[in-house]
Amino acid sequence: MTRQKILITGASSGLGAGMARAFAARGRDLALCARRTDRLEELKAELLDRHPGIAVAIAPLDVNDHDQVPKVFTELADALGGLDRVIVNAGIGKGARLGSGKLWANKATIETNLVAALVQIETALEMFHKSGSGHLVLVSSVLGNKGVPGVKAAYAASKAGVSSLGESLRAEYARGPIRVTVLEPGYIESEMTAKAGSTMFMVDNETGVKAMVAAIERETGRAVVPWWPWASLVRVLRVLPPRLTKPFA
């Protein structure tokens, strides 16, 4: 099935902007939202210049403003004449060692990556129920498979929550009409990973996004992306004793 009208949160940079470019190249109409409206404007102009046949609607959205999520989703859906797919992508990578006195950083990560994701999920599902179908995509992480020590403990927990929500929904909608995909990206070049510093097995943004979009288009239930080397590494990660997971953090 071709999903023509796609909403992406956190679309102003990184994986969100990369996916927008990839879907635009496939002729899809896009609804893009993020906090940084200047970047959204630039991205919209770029996409329409390269692909004048598509429609691009943009709107400012801080996903932690929970009341705004349904309003913005509805506005963007109206602008495109409906939505076929919603990609819950917005997230942050803040974090500190638990107990280090930086509760604010870990709290922000849990709130943005998990609580705000839940709000987006609820909103998208309500819209899909009204329209009769849809494809919900949740961007989790390979770190959602295992707790890791250090500064990424809260991040890993937030993504584990996203993956769990996705698994629950896959079971609930196993027969449709709503499709659910959980993506578990490895380390892909983006603003978030740049701030994290040198990371093992990093792939460039284009390679990572290409793998993500391919999995989304197949409407795979759950996918580690890119497949190499991360599918094998995730199997190792799942069985490692917690004390040995530090290299992934």
- What DSSP character marks residue 141? -
Name residue 51's amino acid.
H
Q: What angle do CA 130, 181, 107 make, to 5 degrees?
A: 95
Phi, psi (rounded to 5 degrees) for 116: -65, -35
Which residues are registered as beta bridge partners of 5? 29
Identify whether 155 is a catalytic site residue. yes
Residues 161 and 111: their CA atoms lie apart, in Å, by 11
Cα 111 to Cα 47, 53, 229: the distances in Å are 31, 37, 30
The catalytic residue among 155, 187, 230, 248 is 155
Helices 153-172/103-110 angle, 10° precision: 20
Q: What amino acid positions are annotated as catalytic residues? A: 155
